[in-house]
Amino acid sequence: MNRSRTTTIAPRPALTGCCTLVGAGPGDPELLTVKALKAIQAATLLLVDDLVSPAIVAHAAPSARVVHVGKRGGCQSTPQAFIEKLMLMAVQEGENVVRLKGGDPFIFGRGGEEVEHLRAAGVEVQVINGITAGLAGLTSLGAPLTHRDRAHGVVFITGHAKPGGAGTDWRQLAATAQAAKLTLVVYMGVAAAGQIAADLCAGGLAADTPVAAIQHASLPQQRHALTCLADLPTALAREQLGSPCVLVIGDVVRGVQELALTPALPLQALG
């Protein structure tokens, strides 16, 4: 009598990768944190935003795969849903995924959306902060975002509303900034700069409120313009400043103007 044998095949254990959202900073590779650098070097797959400097991507291991998933306003972009799906699939396949974002992942980088998507699928995510362009830009001009005499706080805000969204009430924000002595740092605001400036003036900010517009913050090709709120659209057009550009609005910008007017001290005076 023949007896059939049943062979039981144990299921293969699921591969478990990991995902880290890494802030690449404003562009200068020397502004990377040590923790960010280690994460980039350890990645097996890097999903890289459009504004990340090639010099930063160059820190990846030679064996790592690099996939560019650029997202730029006004340009053809990788759909956000596709990026999130790609991240999840790679983690499930056992990859050490680094989602490399310009600036800081949690300041207008859609990092919050990506973390929520992955956590909903049971994936824990680590986030490594980076220096945001609004901070690096004004610092590169020698001025702070806050100052005891000029600004008691700072507001980071986007000038580009989500499609279908109501956008920012700039007039209300102007009244708050005026009353609380706040610096306004506007990301993605070049296209709407004329309307933003007009609404801020209508809301109570003085027309001569100083503004610094900084393009490509921290990179060798950085350019900037110093102007006032009323003349902002004209200055942007004259200097041909476009994206990526941050607008810093408030009395702290007077520090840049004063620095430009201060004669350099002789070396012996600095000793």
- Which positions are catalytic? 49, 71, 188
Residue 30: CB partners within 8 Å, gap ≥ 6?
none
Integer Cα distance of 85 and 88 in angstroms: 5
How many beta carbons lie within 10 A of that of residue 130, not counting itself? 28
Of 36, 47, 42, 21, residue with least CA distance to 126: 21
Pairing of strands 45-48, 153-158: unpaired
Residue 133 structure tokens? 């362009």
Of 18, 82, 81, 25, residue with least CA distance to 45: 18
Q: Where are the beta strands (DSSP E) in 123-181?
A: 125-128, 153-158
